[in-house]
Chain A
Amino acid sequence: MTKRFFDIGKTGLSRRTALKGIAAGAGLMAAPGFVRYSQAQSSAPIKIGFQAHRTGIGAAYGRWYEKTTNAAVKLINDAGGINGRPVEIIVEDDGTDPKRGAEVVAKFASQHKTDIVFGTLFSHVVVGSAPTAGELKIPYYVVSEGYHVASGKLNRWVFQPGITDVRSQVTSVAPWVAANLGKKVTMIYPDYAFGYDHRDYFAPAIKAQGGEVVAQIPIPPTESSFTKYLPQIPADTEVLYHVMVGPGVLTFVKELGEFYGSNKPQLFGFIDSLEAVDINSPGLEFLDGSHFWEGSPRYAQANDSEAQKAYRAAVGIDDNGASTTDAKDVSTAAHMFGCWETLYVIKKAMEDSGYKGPEDRAKLVEATEALTKFKEGPEHPQGDKKFNGKLHQVFGHQNISKVEGGKLNVVHRTSIEDGLYEPEADYTTQPL
């Protein structure tokens, strides 16, 4: 008996093998997969794949989108998460590149197995990634402001519920521009999709106000010197409408200043040009007295709501819209609120649909489409909004701010109705 017992060691099952077996078993039990099945599913986190522009031309935006997202998620988790489950953000860098963007969406769906994908800004990345989201049937919530979502060119899995699209923005500001700045407008815009949204929708909007676009000057997105384009601006231009993105914008404004001196037309720009850039940077004196569109005001305003103040504190920006820890680190305040609001829309839709896991993705899409209104408050600090479930697009208030004394002061706030247009799409007719 005893002999036989000791013999086991020699017949194959060595002590080392046995220990390995025990260790493997313990490891299996400790592995996340095992825990998930042994416990109730409800305590596992809801995974949100964040497609972030950490590198590439969108990196400055991407960093602030990440800060805003983290601030909102912390608040959501502190308040009990979504459907009682904590929210976990998984970040993948897309390099602000459409091809990489599509790969990132696929990686979220198949490798990280996230519940949804969220957070993309640059329109070419959204357009490049959306087909993959549609194929893999994973809900894709973008914060991009391009018209591509509402245009109907994407698919049923893509939503933009946190930020108004460019078509609505330009439509809503056109009456104010025509009434206050002038009727003969020259447009300068980047030579790709985002710029074309401005080109295609501002011209008819200003025409409806009795104005006209006298010249359109597209500029390649990689351009670093702009003086050579400036002679194309007609002499009878009353308003110079500029919307530029990328690292060259400061140069653009400076060269405009050198070209015109004090004898300049009225300037109306989209703050996209100067997001993450200090308005008091050397060379930007030329912008003094000019006007900008802002989604959400960069500088704290006298009439800010409590929700707006709480939002700014949570994200960590001071009254000048710069980081509370580094006054030189200027935020992308006009856009990044969209991440915050989108996360709360996702929360609402997940709660409405009783979302449990990836098998409920279709239900989540339908629940998002069923939303109609968002009330101003801690979840929507930028203001109240209307959501069009057929277009997958939200509509909100826009701000027009004047550069005065080194700050941007809001001088006009459009109504939601100012930005409404005839819908061209209905995603709900597409099969899920």
Chain B
Amino acid sequence: MAFFPHLLLATLEGLVTSAVLALTALGLSLVFGVMRIVNVAHGEFFMLGAVLAWAITSAISGNPALGFALALVLSPLIVGAIAWIAERLVLRRIEYNPEATIVATIGLLYIIQQLALTFYGPEARPVTPPFNYRIQLPWFGYSGYKLSIIAASALLLLATWFVLTRTRIGLIMRATQYDRETALAFGIPVGRVYGAVFALGAMLAAIAAVLIVPIQQAHYLMGLDPLLLSFIVVIIGGLGSLRGTVIAALLIGVSDGIISVFFSPTLAKIIATLVVAMVLVFRPQGLFGTATK
């Protein structure tokens, strides 16, 4: 294949990766930014979103688009509810102690994963995409659904940005992130905000998973990769920074696509990890993060 179509394919692939990654990483970043905790179980919320999408779409017969639309709404809501319960039952009791939270969320990771194995099983199961449209380019064909993921993700990111910066809920979240004690003094129910933010973070991961599942199958071990990549993105972008997360996701996704196509996928991973190391050494707060007080 000639250079240009090759590059085009690589970029398209990279953009799809970026789109899903941006949503997942944003969830992780939000939780860290507001609550100052590291949620190791984030990838499992992603997996749960995909598994639920399978359960919902296979329960609904008829037009696949209907089942998919329902999954896109219901699956994040269920995952959000589970995350909220986990936050109330576990994280609140350990008072968001950073070390204890890491251990607790590792426990959560295994519990969710093994429950999925027990009730969902070890198979990789497909979800029918809402529409099957193959775009025939002069050099190769490409999935129309994949392109729609990019658009959907962009819309969702805009919506999140709007909520965070233009609404009262967003203001409360930012206030809690900025200074927990002062927020508390001003009558903001910080505990409830934490619960909501943790649920919202999980929901973002679940939405990303529902979008990706028609092209990637639901599997009980699928949470690991998004977790690692989200960490990479969040570290590079700066914890708690929406803009940084999106730009880092684009950087990682597109460079992964291009390096994978032209060189090797292993090299892409090596470079991504190297960038993380460099960022940690020279700009520990991330490219767009602000230094913690």
A and B: interacting chains? yes
Other-chain residue from A228, A247, A249 in contact with B222 (beta carbon distance below 8 A): A247
Interface residues on B, range: 35 or more
Q: How far is the CA of A222 from the CA of B222 in the complex (A)?
A: 10
**Is A206 part of the contact surface with B, judged by Cβ < 8 Å?**
no
**Is A258 part of the contact surface with B, judged by Cβ < 8 Å?**
yes
Asked if A231 and B6 make an inter-chain contact with CB atoms under 8 angstroms apart, the answer reads yes
**Is B126 part of the contact surface with A, judged by Cβ < 8 Å?**
yes
Asked if B124 and A259 make an inter-chain contact with CB atoms under 8 angstroms apart, the answer reads no
Contacts of B265 in A (CB 8 A): 220, 223, 228
Other-chain residue from B1, B17, B136 in contact with A231 (beta carbon distance below 8 A): B1
Chain B positions 111-150 with a Cβ under 8 Å from a chain A Cβ: 114, 117, 121-124, 126-129, 134, 136, 140-143
**Is A227 part of the contact surface with B, judged by Cβ < 8 Å?**
yes
**Is A34 part of the contact surface with B, judged by Cβ < 8 Å?**
no
**Is A192 part of the contact surface with B, judged by Cβ < 8 Å?**
no
Q: How far is the CA of A230 from the CA of B265 in the complex (A)?
A: 13
Other-chain residue from A60, A231, A249, A261 in contact with B9 (beta carbon distance below 8 A): A231
**Is B172 part of the contact surface with A, judged by Cβ < 8 Å?**
no
Asked if A250 and B134 make an inter-chain contact with CB atoms under 8 angstroms apart, the answer reads no
Q: How far is the CA of A128 from the CA of B181 in the complex (A)?
A: 54
Beta-carbon contacts of A212-251 to B below 8 Å, as 1s and 0s? 0000000010111101111100010000000000111111
Apart from A60-B124, A282-B64, what 18 extra A-B contacts exist at CB < 8 Å? A55-B117, A57-B221, A222-B225, A227-B13, A231-B6, A231-B9, A247-B124, A248-B216, A248-B217, A249-B124, A251-B217, A259-B142, A260-B141, A261-B134, A277-B124, A282-B126, A282-B129, A283-B126
Other-chain residue from B10, B121, B221 in contact with A228 (beta carbon distance below 8 A): B10
Q: How far is the CA of A422 from the CA of B229 in the complex (A)?
A: 47
Other-chain residue from B141, B221, B225 in contact with A258 (beta carbon distance below 8 A): B141
Q: How far is the CA of A245 from the CA of B59 in the complex (A)?
A: 28
Q: Can you pick out 18 interface pairs between chain A and chain B where the beta carbons lie within 8 Å of each other?
A: A56-B221, A57-B221, A59-B121, A60-B123, A60-B124, A62-B122, A225-B13, A228-B260, A231-B1, A247-B221, A248-B124, A249-B124, A250-B124, A250-B126, A254-B215, A261-B134, A282-B126, A282-B127
**Is A276 part of the contact surface with B, judged by Cβ < 8 Å?**
yes
**Is B219 part of the contact surface with A, judged by Cβ < 8 Å?**
yes
Q: How far is the CA of A230 from the CA of B121 in the complex (A)?
A: 30
**Is B164 part of the contact surface with A, judged by Cβ < 8 Å?**
no
Total A residues in contact with B, Cβ cutoff 8 Å:
35
**Is A390 part of the contact surface with B, judged by Cβ < 8 Å?**
no
CB distance from B262 to the nearest CB of A (A): 9
Q: How far is the CA of A223 from the CA of B253 in the complex (A)?
A: 14
Contacts of B188 in A (CB 8 A): none
Asked if B117 and A231 make an inter-chain contact with CB atoms under 8 angstroms apart, the answer reads no
Asked if A277 and B123 make an inter-chain contact with CB atoms under 8 angstroms apart, the answer reads yes
Contacts of A220 in B (CB 8 A): 265-266
- A55: nearest chain-B partner, CB-CB: B117
Chain B residues near A (Cβ < 8 Å): 1, 5-6, 9-10, 13, 16-17, 64, 114, 117, 121-124, 126-129, 134, 136, 140-143, 215-217, 219, 221-222, 225, 257, 260-261, 265-266
Contacts of B257 in A (CB 8 A): 228
Contacts of A283 in B (CB 8 A): 126
Contacts of B225 in A (CB 8 A): 222, 224
**Is A281 part of the contact surface with B, judged by Cβ < 8 Å?**
yes
Chain A residues near B (Cβ < 8 Å): 55-57, 59-60, 62-63, 220, 222-225, 227-231, 235, 246-251, 254-255, 258-261, 276-277, 281-283
- B257: nearest chain-A partner, CB-CB: A228
CB distance from A215 to the nearest CB of B (A): 12
Q: How far is the CA of A46 from the CA of B122 in the complex (A)?
A: 30
- A261: nearest chain-B partner, CB-CB: B141
Q: How far is the CA of A247 from the CA of B123 in the complex (A)?
A: 7
Q: How far is the CA of A220 from the CA of B216 in the complex (A)?
A: 16
Q: How far is the CA of A56 from the CA of B219 in the complex (A)?
A: 11
Contacts of A254 in B (CB 8 A): 215
Contacts of A224 in B (CB 8 A): 216, 222, 225
Q: How far is the CA of A231 from the CA of B257 in the complex (A)?
A: 12
- B16: nearest chain-A partner, CB-CB: A225
Asked if A261 and B217 make an inter-chain contact with CB atoms under 8 angstroms apart, the answer reads no
- B258: nearest chain-A partner, CB-CB: A228
Other-chain residue from A62, A225, A231, A281 in contact with B126 (beta carbon distance below 8 A): A281
Q: How far is the CA of A230 from the CA of B117 in the complex (A)?
A: 32
Q: How far is the CA of A277 from the CA of B5 in the complex (A)?
A: 33
CB distance from B142 to the nearest CB of A (A): 6
Asked if B122 and A225 make an inter-chain contact with CB atoms under 8 angstroms apart, the answer reads no
Q: How far is the CA of A246 from the CA of B124 in the complex (A)?
A: 8
Asked if A258 and B122 make an inter-chain contact with CB atoms under 8 angstroms apart, the answer reads no
A-B complex: 4 closest residue pairs judged by Cβ atoms: A59-B122, A247-B124, A247-B219, A282-B128
CB distance from B5 to the nearest CB of A (A): 8
Asked if B215 and A59 make an inter-chain contact with CB atoms under 8 angstroms apart, the answer reads no
Contacts of A60 in B (CB 8 A): 121-124
Q: How far is the CA of A255 from the CA of B126 in the complex (A)?
A: 13
CB distance from A299 to the nearest CB of B (A): 19
Q: How far is the CA of A281 from the CA of B126 in the complex (A)?
A: 7
Contacts A220-B266, A261-B141 given; does A228 touch B13 at CB 8 Å = yes
